[in-house]
Structure 1
Amino acid sequence: MATYIVAVSGGVDSIALLDMLARTKSYEIIVAHFDHGIRGDSADDASFVESLAAKYGMRYEKKREALGPDASEETARNRRYAFLRRVAQKYNGRIVTAHHADDIVETIAINFRRGTGWRGLAVLDSDVLRPLIHVHKADLIAYAKQHNLTWREDSTNGSDTYLRNRVRRQTQALDPTVKKELLALRAQQVASKKMIEEHIVQLVGEGPWYSRYFFIHIPSQVALECLRYITKATLTRPQIERSLLAIKTARPKSSYQAGSGTTFDFTTRNFSLSLLK
């Protein structure tokens, strides 16, 4: 039986997802809740989710970190996924989140605002399971009401402090046809991304050792794309660029800490890498 680590915040999206999954008996569900410690009442969310897990008869995993009200969205997201991946490793399960179609539209809009490349359209595509990406927020709310579910509203959702909240108000006003086109473009880019990754595997191999000579002599843009793939997209663009420089210049029997738990180890001809799980 498969094991799913379901990220449950207490909001309507994850509550609806949890109820949908609870109605099927095909897998074991671990309810996972991360308390960022950003809001003063966040402990109430944790208690609410814990009571739900007990109601459904599911195991419950939680972690609290006092990130504080000034924590960035990126920091909060990174800490949450670090927790979820630790739980997934503990139970040998897969992470499941409640991201939906409107989240995709918002993320694409944010990426465009920041000056995205082609990957800015291929959003929310990873090893994380997202079964609701074709479902809209309004449908999830309707489901929750139909099944008499209760949920908690995050008070920070109305704050202009967070970019996503400001973008959300703009994307909510988009014509449904525009949203549909964005979702179609996202699907096309995800397919293109998979084709590129298949080609990269043919170029660099499956590891665990990779040729320094290869990375030194191919065009930098290609090398960066290959590095992004073999490091599982855990590094920022500057970190990947510095890693490529290390591949070109590091001495044999040396190591390089690239950040985000990624370590490169070098021989004269090759390098291997380890990723924090």
Structure 2
Amino acid sequence: MLIAAISGGVDSIVLLDLLSKRYKTSDIIVAHVNHGIRVESSEDADFVRKMSAKYGMRYRQIDLNLGLHASEEVARDQRYTFLRKLSKEFNAKIVTAHHADDIIETIAINLVRGTGWRGLAVMSAKDIYRPLTCFYKNDLLLYAKKNGLEWREDSTNSSDLYLRNRLRKRIKTLNPSIKQNLIQLWRNQTKIARDINKETAKFSKNSRYFYLMISNDVAVEILRNFLLNKGIAQTRPQLNDILISIKTAKAGSKRTLNSSVSMCFSISEFWLEFC
């Protein structure tokens, strides 16, 4: 069973068409997120619903009404929360239409923002299947036109208000060989990240003394893995701050990690408290 994340754009419509040729339509559930960010969001949802019916696939939708000023990060988090909920409900694998240019853009965003080495290992979640990462945007456009596919255009893709759009214009001018090198770098870093995750999982502990005895870089990776296993994702700066709390917080104190989780401290240990 597959949960296909379909926005209505050319990438996702190509994905939908390819899935229909490889899998039984009864095994595919089309998932659409109406973020409520653009005026035409409802029209996109109607289009995807009709495409689902055309292919004979089940359809699920969520309306978020995030508003015009919602950030890309907020929209993404809400989107994946919905997709993972469906994945759990139907015991299905999530499939997205991310392609090679998406990977390069995301790496560029992370580099501009000054993220650590993990910023090169983007889109590596094991619970998400991304079958189009071998292809570039132009490949998908050619396929769509050749097969007479219809799709929706996202008006925000032309807006310079978004960092991704500004970087996309520059990335388009890159030599193809540079793009290929970046994709190879991504593959290498993704493998390294998975190996590190596997090793750090062996040392996930809640002993404050343990974190005092190891180097900060290693401690951050182990702490990151510890929190992710609890379903809590944190940025590198946030992890650094949490590590300081683990080492210095007074017994009996607590630190808020997000709106629903706090970290509590005794003299020798820390633990998570869910609201």
Does TM, normalized by the shorter one, top 0.5? yes
Question: How much has 1:146 moved relative to structure 2?
Answer: 2.1
* CA 1:5–1:269: 2 relative to 1, 3 Å: farther
Question: How much has 1:103 moved relative to structure 2?
Answer: 0.7
Cα distance in 2, alignment partners of residues 143 and 203 from structure 1? 47
Match of 2:71 in 1: 72
Give the 3-state SS of the residue equivalent to 1:31 in structure 2.
strand
Question: How much has 1:213 moved relative to structure 2?
Answer: 2.6
8 A contact 2:115–2:236 mirrored in 1: no
Match of 1:90 in 2: 89
* CA 1:58–1:179: 2 relative to 1, 3 Å: same
TM-score norm. by structure 2 comes to 0.88
Question: How much has 1:51 moved relative to structure 2?
Answer: 1.1
Question: How much has 1:250 moved relative to structure 2?
Answer: 5.8
Amino acid aligned to 2:208: R
How many residue pairs match? The answer is 269
Cα distance in 1, alignment partners of residues 124 and 74 from structure 2? 19
Match of 1:210 among 206, 211, 227: 206
Match of 1:201 in 2: 201
Give the 3-state SS of the residue equivalent to 1:23 in structure 2.
helix
Give the 3-state SS of the residue equivalent to 1:33 in structure 2.
strand
Match of 1:173 in 2: 173
Amino acid aligned to 1:97: T
Cα distance in 1, alignment partners of residues 140 and 273 from structure 2? 39
Give the 3-state SS of the residue equivalent to 1:231 in structure 2.
helix
After the TM superposition, which residues 102-113 of structure 1 pair with which residues of structure 2 at under 5 Å, given as runs?
Answer: 102-113=101-112
Cα distance in 2, alignment partners of residues 262 and 130 from structure 1? 30
Could you give the per-residue CA deviations for residues 87-142 of structure 1, whole angstroms, max 9, x where no partner exists? Answer: 22222222211100011111122222222322221111112211111111111111
Match of 2:20 in 1: 22
235-244 or 218-227, larger mean C-alpha shift: 235-244
Match of 1:45 in 2: 44
Match of 2:132 in 1: 132
Give the 3-state SS of the residue equivalent to 2:135 in structure 1.
coil
Match of 1:12 in 2: 10
Match of 2:219 among 197, 215, 223: 223
Amino acid aligned to 1:46: A
* CA 1:9–1:260: 2 relative to 1, 3 Å: farther
Amino acid aligned to 2:45: A
8 A contact 2:261–2:273 mirrored in 1: yes
Question: How much has 1:272 moved relative to structure 2?
Answer: 4.7
Cα distance in 1, alignment partners of residues 222 and 259 from structure 2? 18
8 A contact 2:254–2:262 mirrored in 1: yes
The answer for unaligned runs of 5 or more in structure 2 is none
Give the 3-state SS of the residue equivalent to 1:5 in structure 2.
strand
Match of 1:33 in 2: 32
215-224 or 156-165, larger mean C-alpha shift: 215-224
Cα distance in 2, alignment partners of residues 273 and 19 from structure 1? 44
The answer for unaligned runs of 5 or more in structure 1 is none
Cα distance in 2, alignment partners of residues 94 and 139 from structure 1? 25
Cα distance in 2, alignment partners of residues 168 and 182 from structure 1? 14
Cα distance in 1, alignment partners of residues 70 and 21 from structure 2? 36
8 A contact 1:242–1:258 mirrored in 2: no
Cα distance in 2, alignment partners of residues 140 and 45 from structure 1? 19
Amino acid aligned to 2:21: R
* CA 1:158–1:92: 2 relative to 1, 3 Å: same
Cα distance in 2, alignment partners of residues 55 and 250 from structure 1? 61
